[in-house]
Structure 1
Amino acid sequence: MNEKELRTLLNKYVAGQCTPAEEAILEAWFLKEDGSDIPGLSEEETAEDLALVWTRLEAKLAARPVKRFSVLKYIAAASILLAASLILFFYLRLSPVAATGHSIYVNDVPSGKNKAFLTLGNGSRIALDDAVNGNVIEQQGTVITKTRDGQLVYRADDKKNGDVASVPNTIETPQGGQWQLNLPDGTKVWLNAASKLTYPSTFSGLKTRRVTLTGEAYFEVAHDRSRPFIIVTGKQVAEVLGTHFNINSYGDEPAIKTTLLEGSIKVTVNNNYEILKPGQESAVTEKISILNVDTDNAIAWKNGDFNLGQNDFRGAMRQLARWYNVEVVYDHSAPQDVTLHGWISRQKSIVSILKVMELTGEVHFKVQGRRVVVTK
């Protein structure tokens, strides 16, 4: 940002008149530049404005879920952030770039929301976001309930005696949708946008708890040593007894990724298998690769965030396409990759996030309807 744009934006911020997109731009600038030298301001004025911005930023960070890090990890992260801030400070001071230099925003697109469809064993389809809270349906001895906070919960009908028949159910989120589901065994599932999970209406009488996933989901599997929980995703089969993990199996991603937070998980592909430990992630293509990772990155979406630095630029754009239900088109001038950093709420509108990406000076966008054109 040049001096005039920065001063205008800062004045609006202090007055509490910024839009969410403008707040995101200014706060991202402060995080990168450390805000220690604001052109055109005295040291006293700089100190006052800096204190206000950091106070608001700290309040937002305090509202985020508490993450578990070691002291050494904090020190390492702080060192990296300091070095990056110094590099960005001199780079941006020498090469100032207007935040919306060549971008055109005909309209904005709101974030996704709780939206899903449930298909029962008899083929009937229910729009869950339109269904009233309470019992949604009773099917062959199983009661399905939609809770006040938007979860779908399965439980056995206590009024039914004898064996309960199991029939396949499918929950599916469209682009721009997400949903949380409690399976009949107590397993909790968070389903990301453009995802589908097929599962039995009850696990009663079954030797295994077998489900099929396309897209992305986070699982907290109820422990049951006598009945393994099995997730089939394309060519991969994952088997657990009781554990917490995330699986990303979108068809437009280069690999199926399984990230383990707690417990253990066996990942099998073509009769070859690996057993993951907490903090590890498998990437499946034709073979299985294992990496040690920061698990917070894999579940950022489940906690309501985007971690812009988690993926390459085009991977980040695929995430935006699914969550905002937009088509992303690349102009011939569009960069193949852009170095991105930072976390931003998935509740922000798409323009708020695109403007943060523009701060790199390497990419611009045109938004019209639900079409996003990427240019240099």
Structure 2
Amino acid sequence: MEYNEEYIQGLLFEKVAGTISDEDNLIAEQAIAHDIRAREFWETLLVKMKGTRGNSFLSGIDPDAAWNNTQPRFNEIQDSFFKRNRWLLSSAAAILLLALPFIWYFTSTKGTAAADQEQISRQVHLKTENGAAVDLSSDRVVTLGHARFNASQKELTYAAGEVVRKEWATLVVPAAKDYSVNLSDGTKVWLNAASSLRFPVQFGKEQAREVYLSGEAYFEVTKNLKQEFIVHTNSADIHVHGTSFNVNAYDGNRFATALIEGSVSATTKNQNLRLKPGQEVILEAQNLQVRPFDAQEVLSWRKGTYFFHKQPLSEIAAVLSRWFDVKIAWQTPGIAEQAFTGEIDKKLSIEVVLANLQLSSGIKAELKNGTLTFR
């Protein structure tokens, strides 16, 4: 059986408003049962009308007044659908008139929800398994499942509560921000700008504690001889044995882990390298290599400073993009491979940072409409 979509939507709106007749309710129920579009509309309508705005909208509707105001306009339209189908309108007019403002309301609130999601994406936020995003840009307490999260402007802590099943969450730190989280086992993780960490709200009784990193983070892992700690990235996995270390995995083709204290192993499909304190492992030409590192240079991001020594401008530009939330463009592509030495202070404005770079290194750059162009 085929259903007129607008007519059925009107019935469903009257159904949720509680003003539908028994006969029309039977039609609505049949449509929900047999028409997938009607069923999807009904399910979405129920969710939308549960909110405060939905209740307020429903309470402000007067179907009789709407029909009295609109009926003369129908009579003005010669040989129209409305005149030729008075028998239909007499029973459905109020429903149709109710549906029209609802469709406006529904689409406008969908736009508002999209705008809200866009606003949240620009702030530090926590994504849940069902796709919800919780803004963490201000102090607040949030309950998700069996966990109670305490958020401040710089740190997320929580109590996991009773574990019924393993629940996952993802901490997302956008460009120009940094943030830390204390995991359920006491491990603390500091996330650099444009990074995310997917973690279980409560580590279970599995042989390993596993998290997934995109971007850069510094870890202080709580020792647990019975449960190995593993950091998964797109390029390699880091197996931890109770330690402090830094992981840089912004790009799938670039990867580095620097060990401060303890012991870690970096593994790919073909390699397994164990580090000693003061060593870092990097991925070059699809192979892991071990070398010493400068702790001040590698860890300076935690204090809002980026030191670079004979590094290509492409890497420096990537940091500027993440720290100051700008897009990068190259007017002269070859300049991206030129090496420079200096530092970037995140506490300064990007205009001051660019001025310092141009004075110290001769870099030519222009910032316009959120795009940083190197010449």
User: Would you say same fold, with TM above 0.5?
Assistant: yes
Query: Residues 189 and 361 (structure 1 numbering): CA distance in 2 closer, same or farther, change over 3 Å?
Result: closer
Q: TM-score, normalised by structure 1?
A: 0.63
CA RMSD of aligned residues (A): 2.0
State the Cα deviation string for residues 131-177 of structure 1 (Å, max 9, x = none). Answer: x33x222422x221114x521012233xx5xx443211111112222
1:136 counterpart (142, 145, 170): 142
**Counterpart of 2:126?**
118
Deviation at 1:334, TM superposition (A): 6.1
Runs of 4+ in 1 over 4 A off after TM superposition: none
Query: Residues 229 and 361 (structure 1 numbering): CA distance in 2 closer, same or farther, change over 3 Å?
Result: closer
**Counterpart of 2:170?**
170
Partners in 2 of 1:121 and 1:326 — Cα distance?
30
Partners in 2 of 1:322 and 1:307 — Cα distance?
15
Higher relative contact order (CA 8 A, sep 6+): 1
1:127 counterpart (132, 135, 147): 135
Query: Residues 259 and 220 (structure 1 numbering): CA distance in 2 closer, same or farther, change over 3 Å?
Result: same
Partners in 2 of 1:226 and 1:304 — Cα distance?
36
Pairwise mapping of residues 71-220 of structure 1 onto structure 2 (< 5 A)? 115-130=123-138, 132-133=139-140, 135-140=141-146, 142-147=147-152, 150-157=154-161, 160=162, 163-220=163-220
**Counterpart of 2:356?**
356
C-alpha contact 1:297 1:310 (8 A) present in aligned 2: no
**Counterpart of 1:63?**
none
Partners in 1 of 2:362 and 2:342 — Cα distance?
16
C-alpha contact 1:178 1:190 (8 A) present in aligned 2: yes
DSSP-derived class of the 1:359 partner = helix
**Counterpart of 1:303?**
303
- Aligned amino acid, residue 301 of structure 1: W
Q: Higher helix fraction: Structure 1 or Structure 2?
A: 2
C-alpha contact 2:235 2:249 (8 A) present in aligned 1: no
Query: Residues 319 and 280 (structure 1 numbering): CA distance in 2 closer, same or farther, change over 3 Å?
Result: same
Deviation at 1:195, TM superposition (A): 1.1
Pairwise mapping of residues 1-376 of structure 1 onto structure 2 (< 5 A)? 115-130=123-138, 132-133=139-140, 135-140=141-146, 142-147=147-152, 150-157=154-161, 160=162, 163-251=163-251, 254-285=253-284, 286-309=286-309, 311-332=311-332, 335-360=335-360, 362-375=362-375
Deviation at 1:342, TM superposition (A): 3.4
Partners in 2 of 1:215 and 1:333 — Cα distance?
25
Q: TM-score, normalised by structure 2?
A: 0.63
Deviation at 1:249, TM superposition (A): 0.7
C-alpha contact 1:115 1:179 (8 A) present in aligned 2: no
The number of residues matched between the two structures is 253
DSSP-derived class of the 1:318 partner = helix
Identity %: 29
DSSP-derived class of the 2:178 partner = strand
